[in-house]
Amino acid sequence: MYGPFTNEGLVGRAIAGRRDEVVVATKFGNQHRPDGSWVRVNGEPAYVRRACDASLARLGVDHIDLYYQHRVDRSVPVEDTWGPMAELVEAGKVRHLGISEAAPATVRRANAVHDPPLTTGPVLHGLTSMLDGEAGAAAVECEEDNACWGCWTDTDGGATWRAAWTAGAWWCCSPKGSRTSSSGSR
Any catalytic annotation for residue 2? yes
Of 2, 47, 67, 68, catalytic: 2
Backbone conformation region of residue 27, classed left if phi is above 0, alpha if psi is from -120 to 50, else beta: beta
Q: CA–CA separation, 20 vs 14, rounded Å? A: 13
Residues with catalytic roles: 2
